[in-house]
Chains A and B, each alone.
Chain A
Amino acid sequence: MDIKRVAWSNLWRNRGRYLAYLGSAAFAVMVYFLFNAVVLHPDFQSGYRGARYAVAAMRAGAVVVAAFTFFFLLFAHGSLIRFRRREFGLMRLMGFTRGQLVRLLLWESVITAAASLAVGSGLGLLFARLFFMAISVILDLPEPIPVYAGAPVWLRTAGVFGAIFAAVSLQSIGEVMKHSIAELLRSRRRTKEPPTYSRGKAVLGTVLLAVGYAWAALGDQEHMFLASMPVTAMVSVGTYLLIHEGSIALLNRLRRNERGFYRPVPFLHLSQLLFKLKDNARTLTSVSLLVAVILTAMGTIYSVYALAREDALRGQVHSLEIARFGAGAADLAAEAEGFTMLLEDQGLEVPHHWSLLTAWADLSSQDLMGSVILVPYSIYRDMREAAGQPALPAPEPDDALAVGFGPVSGANPQPYVLTLEDQRLEGLAHVDEGRSLFYLQWALVVADETFARLTAQAPEDRRIALAAWDTSPDLGRQAIAAHSAVREHVDTGSGDVFLSRAVRYDDQVSQWSIVLFMAVFASLVFFAACCSLIYFRLSAEIEDDRRYYRRLSDLGVGRDLLRQVNRRQLVTLFFVPFLIGSVHFTFAMRALSITVGYSVIHYGWLMALGYLVLYALYFLAVQGFYWRSLRLGG
């Protein structure tokens, strides 16, 4: 007998079931292929600008994708094989030897593995150009990196996924071999007992979830990271118990309410839900946890990215700042003029430039306490004007404006005392809640004459020279080049401070954008797995459902009503886990907000919305497909 032919026809007969399996496997192969095309890219080996980040991110992503795919395929293929047990039993009965069955399973694995590898790598090759183009844009490379898909990429992809498929196939052979013919033949008895409600489990589930959530929501910054493990475990178990027991309790209650239940749609919909509950609970739990994992991972990465962006954009007041302390401070102003010309030579416009030789002093008042730099009112007003922000009126000679402290709780203005060596100034400080004037955050703005008097007598070790430029453009390749040219002339080794928004943005943000980019792809692999779990459930149910809907149709239930019932079933299966996953995710984001000390929930939700859109599209496609597969005639 030609085993290979049998393998082909087996797979063809089961193609509906294998579709989701092969689809998610091929997608994982594609992503793995693309990631490795970056990791193994020869140009990136020689340290392209930003290449370090890209290679590190893609390498990490490839590991995550491969590991996840391994476990997912193991699970998915296991359930496919369990579904086909009877088929294998019949083959043994018809005279297949154990050896032949093993060879058959091996052939099937070879075919499925080859198909997913071929399709996956093919898609990888197809999308490689787009992928590298995107990376060039994200890393802001001077010219797009050439597409790379050399032999090492193919070898590694084939090697790693070949090993994964081999392991999956060994597992399924073991599964089939460990049962006797009789066991294989024993058809899955699908009498579904009505699920019974267990108060103990419901209470346990509620407690686990409540404790997990409370821990995540109320924990303190220090212990949040350690807590994440037990919290995840508690939430996972709690979710299963609560989905199971909670839906039994809820559905039974709804069922007992005759007024609500004895109407066509709820009557059919709710009774079916309860009937399928045991089978659905596992899928619902897995999907909701996967959704939670995807959203949380993406939410975290996106939040960090957004924070880094915000920090780079807002944390630094000017495009470029240089500070010098102590004895040499007085020379900075002259050098700064040269830097302005240098910036302009590099093609930047410099709409604003300030140079300031000042000193730092000690401030004390009810709310404001610490070292401040002194700033003359004229520069303060000028900066506020340049930034398009309101300036407070000029202070009286002994009074001052406190800038960079943020809002204060006490009186405004409030009396203050300023000391600079043996000089002392007392008056009223008006608090300007606007942003800082220089990277040195706290400043006390005094009248120009007062400023001149105070700084003239400042000792050398209290002197600070500050130079600031607003350049246009102030981000991007050109700005980085120009700012870097200035940097060449600044001696950071001897204590000068050099701050370029463009460089900082590039450092912080572009590494995170490449991580974000990688994570989007990796998350899509998880997402595809999530979608195939639902698909598995549906393909397991379709025979039963077909019978169910036919029966109703024979009894004279119209197509419209059937369609409505079917749609509700699918909406429940799809969106209840998404909703539960989103609740988990919200608590995880709350925990993250505590850890980073900044609320990031809105970033998370923004991103969750994106996944919801994708998910809804999948729902629409499956819904139509499933309805057609029920083949209710007409």
Chain B
Amino acid sequence: MRDTTTRVLIAQGLTKIYGSRGRAVTRALNNLSLAVDRGEFVGIMGPSGSGKTTLLNLLATIDRPTSGTVTVEGRDTSRMSERELALFRRKRLGFVFQDFNLLDSLTLRENMALPLVLDRQPPSLIRQRVEALAQRLGIQHVLDRFPDEVSGGEQQRAAAGRAVIHEPALVLADEPTGNLDSRSSQAFMEILRDLNESLNVTIVMVTHDPFAASYCSRVLFIRDGALYNEIHRGDGRQAFFQQILDVLALLGGGSGGH
């Protein structure tokens, strides 16, 4: 067992039951537990409907579990008020979604700056951080364009920038490459890996794409709302990729078919 101080995220006995008032009840998550250490890059895979998005939403504190707890940096999020949660999300979490989730009314620069603006950081510092990060993400030339005016890959890189700019404890990504072609996917995954390795950003990523998952240091597989398997990356990415494909074949139900 590793030292718990390096443990960024602990989820224990997460159960989520959807449905109320006469509707059919869905048990989307069933007593699922997981832990993530600082600097880890964790992938979550599983068939469609297995509860991946549900899990991520619980980790992101934008939904509350039916039972179980989520602890980030030693703080139990189930004990926090709505207001504390919002503040916690803003300061300690970063998000990347499948549909990029940039605000259309802001330029890429402003989208990336949003967490710092909400934190009332001085404009000079904001500018400096955004530009340094944009350099790293390779989008410095489109910073002053609006999301509509750049490619999906560029939007997603800006979204990644927004997710890490305030140095969160944990970045959560739900199928971040789901809307990207293979070239942009690869470029994006390389950026995530770079952020993970050079800036030591902790990332939890849901994905259907075995190739994207091969960038992770560890991949969890879930099925019917429960943990099914877990594999660690050993030597090369190529070997890891093959390992992932093997588990997916065992898992059945397809990788989601997206």
Contacts and interface: CB of A to CB of B under 8 A. Distances in A.
B118 interface: yes
Given A193-B148, A271-B105, A262 B86 contact: no
Nearest to A270: B105
Contacts, number: 67
Interface residues of A, number: 27
B148 A556 contact: no
Interface in A543-562: 548, 551-559, 561
Interface string B87-102: 1111101010000010
A68 interface: no
B89 A555 contact: yes
B120 A548 contact: no
A262 B87 contact: no
B95 A271 contact: no
A566 to B, nearest CB: 14
Given A258-B123, A556-B93, A271 B86 contact: no
B133 to A, nearest CB: 16
Nearest to B101: A551
Contacts of B93: 556
A459 interface: no
Given A555-B95, A557-B90, A634-B82, A259 B123 contact: yes
Residue of A274, A553, A558, A559 with most chain B CB atoms under a 10 A cut-off: A558
Interface stretch (B71-79, B109-117, B240-248): B109-117
B103 interface: yes
B127 interface: yes
A267 B127 contact: no
Given A262-B123, A275-B105, A554 B117 contact: no
B176 to A, nearest CB: 15
Nearest to A560: B83
B103 A548 contact: yes
Contacts of A556: 85-91, 93, 118
B120 A263 contact: yes
Residue of B60, B85, B104, B148 with most chain A CB atoms under a 10 A cut-off: B104
A192 B62 contact: no
A522 B127 CA distance: 55
A558 B82 CA distance: 9
Interface in B172-187: none
B126 interface: yes
Contacts of A267: 110, 114, 117
A315 interface: no
A482 B154 CA distance: 89
5 contacts: A263-B117, A275-B105, A554-B89, A555-B95, A556-B118
Given A271-B106, A559-B82, 9 more contacts: A262-B126, A263-B120, A267-B110, A271-B103, A274-B105, A556-B87, A558-B90, A559-B86, A561-B118
